[in-house]
Structure formats: C-alpha cells, structure tokens
Chain A
C-alpha cells in the first residue's frame, strides 16, 4: 500500500524519540483516528452526492426497481417478524407498567408512539443494514477486488450510475415503506399481546392508537427513515466500493472487514442521527 505524506513524516521523525513522545502517543493515535474518520465521512458524503445526482438518469428506473426488490421486497419478511415481536414485547411491558396505575387502557398510546416515533425507523434501519446493507458491501467489495468495477470503467460504463445509484434509489424508497410496514405490524403485535393475551379492550386500544398519533409523529418517523436510508446506503456502498483501499488487509479479508465496518458504522450513525433528528424535530 502506498505511504501517505503523514506516514512518511512519521518515519522521518521516528528516528529520535523526543521527551514527552510517549505521553503524546495516545493523543496522536486518537487524533489520527478522528482525522481518518472525518476524512472518510467527507469522502462518503461526496461519494453519495455523486451517486445521487445520477439517480435521475433515464436508465435508472429498471435498475432501481431490481434493487428495490433485493433491498426492499426481500426484507419484508424479516421486518414483519421483528415488527410483530417488538410490538408484542412493547404491549407486554407497557401493560405491566401501566396496570400498576390502573392505566392499562393507554397501552395503545405507548405502543403506537414508541413504534412510530422511534422503534419503527430505528429497528427497520438496523434490520435492513444487517440483511441488505452487509450484502451491498460484500457484493460491491467483491466486484472491486475482482476488478469487475475496473472492467466497467474500461467498457465506459459509469460504475457509480451502474452499481451505486440504483441501490441508493432502492434505499430511499424502501426504508420509509418498510418502516410503515414495521409500524403497522408492531401495532398489531401490541394488539395481540395487550388485547388478545392480556385482556385490554380492543376498542380502547385502537382508539388510543388513533387519538395519540398525530401527522407530525408519522412525518417524523418517515424523515428518520429517509435519513437512515441515506446513511445506510452511502456507508455500505462506500465501504464496498473502496474495499481495495484498506491499509489493514487485502482481498477477501478486506471485503470481510469492510462489511463489518459498514454494519457497525451504519448502526452507530443510525443511533447518532436518531438523536440529532429527534432533537431537531421535537
């Protein structure tokens, strides 16, 4: 791997250790990691913008639909499963918390608000990251290390337009739709545990759901889903696309590490962005 100017500087300076170097090393390491992280963040933002511009090309529709099938449609089953059990757990927990105050009728409110505002967008994004995001990084990474992306260049096919833009389109469409599915199924999960298993009145449950949810909550949930779709698609595509640039490994190992990095970074950024968006919209 090529040495950067920074590395060369380190080699030149490393010959004579200065007093205090030992103390400053941890700070230098942290600083270097932060700079690298910010550098990557900037690069992935540019990467995302370049790919985003290309989603409006005429030939993107069919490719976007194909990716929507892989990223969206094929994630539906896992989203339904996770949404159902999340709603059921929420119903269960909220019932036993509220019953102490004789307020078990508010189970519907708690389930609906938790799901639509927070858990729906966050858990949907994390599940798509685990299922489709990792696959995107691995697939694009393998295309990179086996020179298939270089082959696209040599055939005058724009790799960003061919590989990345359709995945971004699919994410932008797929995340909000799957979040809606998650919310809906989660509310039904809350109904199963709260109403069918624990005896909360069905009319009360649905009345509370309807009464407590405002359009603002739904909009907030969709805004989060959109933000997460941008984060997950750009981070996962970026890590795969530049898998060959890793300095810590090469080949298949680099793809493996890139996939891990993409999933971890996406999940962390989802939670950070969740806080930021919530604090801005609340």
Chain B
C-alpha cells in the first residue's frame, strides 16, 4: 500500500496523571474517508487534535507523508499543517460574523488575495454548500444543519487536502445526521480531499467510510474496511459496537446490518439443503440529482420514507430488511421461492405505485424548498438463494437484476 498521508507511531498522550492515548499506531491514507469510532470520552477528539497540531504527543511520532512532523523545519511543518482543515463538533463559527465573513476569514487573514478574488471564492463555496440565502445571516440565526454547512464551507475555502471532522453529526436528528454524512461524502468525491471523521453514527457512517479505526481503552484496536470490522473478533465489538449500533437503524427504522445478519443466520441454520429463499433489492435511483435539486435533508427523508414503507410491507409477511447502501435496501423473504416472490413483488409494486412513491415524495417535500421538483425513480431486483450460499453473492445477483418499478415527478405526476 502507498505511504500513509498521516501515520501515528506509538503516540502517547497524558494529561497529568491521566493517560488518554497509549502507544497509538494508525495510518490515514490519501483520498479516503477514514472514520474513528469509540466510546465518548475515549480520546477520539484528542487524537484528531494531534493530527492538526493543536496538541503535541508526550511520546511517539506523528508522520506526514512518511516524515516526522517533529523533525521538520518550522516552515515545512507549517506548510504540512496548512493543508489541513478542522471542522469542530460545535462548528466554532465566529458568532459576531456573518456566514460570508466566517467563510472569508481564513482567506482574508492568511493569503494576499485581493478582496474581489476572496469574494469570488467565498461565493463559490456558499453556492456549493447551498447557503446563498444565509450568506448575510449570523450563525445564531441558522439551523443546526445550516451551521454545519457553513463550517464545512469555511473548512473547504482554503482548498485543503485533508479535512478533519470532529463529531460532525452530533446533536442532529436522524435525517439531518444522514444529510450531513451524505454532504461530506459528496464533497469528498467532488473536491477529492482526504477526510478523517470522528463519529458515533454506526452503521450510517459505514456507508461513506473507506476505512474504520476503532479506539478502545486508549489504543487503536482495529484498522480496516467496514466489511472487515464485521468479522473483527474483539471485546470492542460487544462492548462498543453493539451499544452504539442498537437493534434498529436510526434513519430507516429497519434492522441494522449486524442484526440483519444475525436474523439471516438464525433463519437459515435449520433449513435443509435444497430449500430456497429470495432476496429483494430496492434502490432509489439518481440520488445525486435528487440531492442537487432538493438538498441533502430532503434526499435523506426520501430514503427514510422508502425504508419504512419496505419494512412495513414485507415485515407483515415474514420478511426482514436492512439498508445495504446509502440508497439501497435489501429484504430477505426466507420462505419464498422465486416465483412466489415475483407475485409478492408484483403486489408490492401495485401498492407502491398507488401509495409508496407518494409517501416518499411527501417526506422529501417537507424538507425541500417550496416549488422544487425532482424525479424519483425506484428500482427493484430479485434473486434466489440457498442456505449454503453467501448472502452477499445473492444480494449482488439481485442488484444485477434491478429494474424500474416506479417513477414520479412532483405530486401531479405518477
């Protein structure tokens, strides 16, 4: 693998007699979204503050592109740290300045750009973060979600290579939490920065993260992909992950991924060889354009409504569902063969065209600006599996069968 962008080697930090971090070893790779998870008060923010130089380790080394920051010349260390931005948990926006002034501050104070150029760059960020109407407002006049967007715009305005997000979704409702995560993921794809998040939002954060770091008992006990974390055998999993995850996903009300797998294994354990089940995959198409037109919150509300509708319908006939990707749901019909499942899906489609898609639109329109109109297209696919088959392979097979089942453009359409 490439040289890590940031690497911690045996980093220890103490405050007086209290050890917060002990021999921390971690790697952050360029262009990825890395999420640090762990219990509250476990030292995640302290870890993040070491990355941006707000705190210095008592022992150990922090490397930037393979070079120890402590051994760099001041100018070089400053240049390395200048490539980073930090988004604070409580945003840390200057409350006596307007949104525009807040975003302009780093450019005004740290560059020699002319006012016209600063204004141009600030306006570009304001437009990208959908804050045009709020540009002249003070932070206290904005909603929590808008404040987050303003903080993100300020973090982005210097074109940083790395952005550190400290609990970006803290204190937000489930729809806003997912809207913020979706905004981070979308911005990361658009601007290509490396993102490091501290978050509790499991499993939602898995959908946007390339790598997960688990901080437990002052040490990093896991580094890997969200999928690898599923198979990670450590007390962290029982003590931390399960307590964070809960039984149901906060946004959609469906089973969490882990609970879904537990249910799947318990259902399949006693099934005879040769018996079959069916997997249905549902996807909300063109999520990016929905976000672009209606905004992140409306898109997340649409996903939430869709998940609830699927759960209600298939839960009543013995199916169980989970959110598989940001805009994709998976349902297992444990006792249905493919033909029977096709009939069930047919009934679902009729019902969904009648009511479901309207529910999704109604949910989204509550969070969207009045008069905005986007096209909603829902796809579905079926695949048959056997108890011995790998569920992920069956899901992949259902994904390959995705076809449009319903489309709607604004309330009058259908």
- Asked if A154 and B110 make an inter-chain contact with CB atoms under 8 angstroms apart, the answer reads no
A156 and B106 in contact (CB under 8 A), knowing A3-B16, A147-B90? yes
Assembly CA distance A155 to B94 (angstroms): 13
Question: What is the interface of chain A, defined by CB distance below 8 A to chain B?
Answer: 1-4, 7-8, 59, 143, 146-148, 150-151, 153-157, 162
User: Which of chain B's residues 77-127 have a Cβ closer than 8 Å to chain A?
Assistant: 78, 81-82, 84-86, 88, 90, 92-95, 105-106, 109-110
- Asked if A155 and B88 make an inter-chain contact with CB atoms under 8 angstroms apart, the answer reads no
A155 and B15 in contact (CB under 8 A), knowing A150-B54, A150-B92? no
Q: What are 19 residue pairs bridging A and B, where the CB atoms are less than 8 Å apart in the complex?
A: A2-B15, A2-B17, A3-B18, A7-B16, A8-B16, A146-B90, A148-B93, A150-B54, A150-B86, A150-B88, A150-B92, A154-B85, A154-B86, A155-B105, A155-B109, A156-B78, A156-B110, A157-B106, A162-B109
B52 at the interface (CB under 8 A from A): yes
Q: Which residue of B lies closest to A59 (CB)?
A: B109
A4 and B16 in contact (CB under 8 A), knowing A151-B86, A154-B52? yes
- Asked if A147 and B109 make an inter-chain contact with CB atoms under 8 angstroms apart, the answer reads no
Question: What is the interface of chain B, defined by CB distance below 8 A to chain A?
Answer: 15-18, 49, 52-54, 78, 81-82, 84-86, 88, 90, 92-95, 105-106, 109-110, 154, 158
Assembly CA distance A225 to B154 (angstroms): 41
Chain B residues whose CB sits within 8 angstroms of the CB of A157 once the complex forms:
105-106, 109-110
A155 and B17 in contact (CB under 8 A), knowing A150-B88, A150-B92? no
- Asked if A155 and B106 make an inter-chain contact with CB atoms under 8 angstroms apart, the answer reads yes
Assembly CA distance A1 to B17 (angstroms): 10
A146 and B92 in contact (CB under 8 A), knowing A155-B105, A155-B110, A157-B110? yes
- Asked if B92 and A156 make an inter-chain contact with CB atoms under 8 angstroms apart, the answer reads no
Q: Min CB distance, A152 to chain B, in Å? A: 8
Give the top 10 A-B pairs by smallest Cβ distance, nearest first. A2-B16, A151-B92, A154-B86, A2-B15, A3-B16, A155-B106, A147-B92, A157-B109, A3-B17, A147-B88
Assembly CA distance A157 to B97 (angstroms): 16
Assembly CA distance A282 to B140 (angstroms): 54
Chain A residues whose CB sits within 8 angstroms of the CB of B15 once the complex forms:
2
Chain A residues whose CB sits within 8 angstroms of the CB of B78 once the complex forms:
156
